Amino acid sequence: MKKILLIGIGIVSILLLSGTLVYAMQEDVTITFSDKDQPLVTSVMGGTLEEALESEGYDIQKLKKKYIPSIPWNQTLPDNAKVQLLCQCKVQLEVGGQKTGTYTTKQPTVGQFLAERHIELNRWDQVNAPLNAKITDNMLLVVDRIEKRIKKKVELTPYKTVKKEDPKLQKGKEQVLKEGVKGKRIYEVALIYKNGKPLVTDERLIEEILPVHMLVAVGTGTEIPKEQKEDTQVAEEHGSSKIAGLEYTKTMDVEATGYTSSGNAKTATGTTPHRGTVAVDPDVIPLGTKMYIPGYGVGVAEDTGGAVDGNIIDLYFDSEQEAIQWGRRNVTIYILKD
């Protein structure tokens, strides 16, 4: 009985020892698929890559058609082997709204595949998968071409007419004190195109120039100012007409504008402009003509000007403030007797 027991114990010990030896001889193998996120870790004992994959239930013939291994399929795996299976994946590609074709690639990521196909991306282009995403079989990659065009748009803003009552101006008359100037709104317009078609229009105001409002004096005076009343008193003495004590031969209705100059300007007759210098159209009022202008005084036609045409005259003032104060007026002038 003791002999049988000892034999049994010996057999069990041998089996346990052999199992331990077999386990000790098995090594872990890591197999990474380029188109999958998780690697396969399996234990083998001196087998080949084919055997390792078959033991995990893979169809070797299908794998051979789809993957290229980093070591031969029938090579015995070394201890703690790390094997890569590179997918020969088919990828459908669309660029800029057009299908370019289906391609077989060994590239592991989207970015590497696009580089292989010489597809360059600008800063706004969109891809339907991250550039570091793994390439998978029968994958559809779409590259949308995004174009951003920048231009400027200008809008004119109208000015207002501001009227100011002026008791010194005869009732019913108006005088422009300051000309109006339109304002501007300048926009930056971003036009975004997707595959050549307009997608979004975005605009923002980048500059605004406010309008300058027109200022107009509106006469509210009930009678002609005293100085003008004296100027326009006409006396019939000895059959001659007089204004402010000066004999005149005729009257003219004109538009008179105040002006001034700086520097060493000369008139058309060679004189230095001064108060009393009048710019005229020589075809209407000959140079050298003396005249009386109510509210201004005596003047002499000594100058001409490009804008002085027909019944238009310019009156010289010694200061800009005086010229602005005069502005532009419709007046009756008196051509004085020589």
Q: Which of 134, 182, 135, 186 is nearest to 158 (CA)?
A: 182
**Per-residue pLDDT tens digits for 134-159:** 999 999 999 999 999 899 999 999 99
Instruction: Give the per-residue pLDDT at 240.
Output: 55
**Per-residue pLDDT tens digits for 25-54:** 457 888 888 888 788 888 776 688 888 888
The region that residue 53 occupies, defined by phi over 0 for left and psi between -120 and 50 for alpha, beta otherwise, is alpha
pTM of the model: 0.44
Share of the chain above pLDDT 70, in %: 86
Instruction: Give the per-residue pLDDT at 237.
Output: 42
SS3 157: strand
Domains of the chain plus CATH, in order, are 27-87 (3.10.20.90), 89-144 (3.10.20), 148-217 (2.20.230.10), 224-336 (2.40.40.10)
Residue 238 has pLDDT above 70, yes or no: no
How far are the Cα atoms of 28, 173, 329, 330 from residue 161, in angstroms, in the given order? 92, 16, 18, 20
**Considering only 31-45, 225-239, 276-290, which range has the smallest mean pLDDT?**
225-239
Q: What's the number of CA atoms in the CB half-sphere (13 Å) around residue 143?
A: 24
Radius of gyration of the chain (CA): 51
Burial classification of residue 184, based on how many CB atoms lie within 10 Å of its CB (0-12 exposed, 13-18 middle, 19 or more buried) = middle
> What's the average model confidence in pLDDT over 217-223?
77
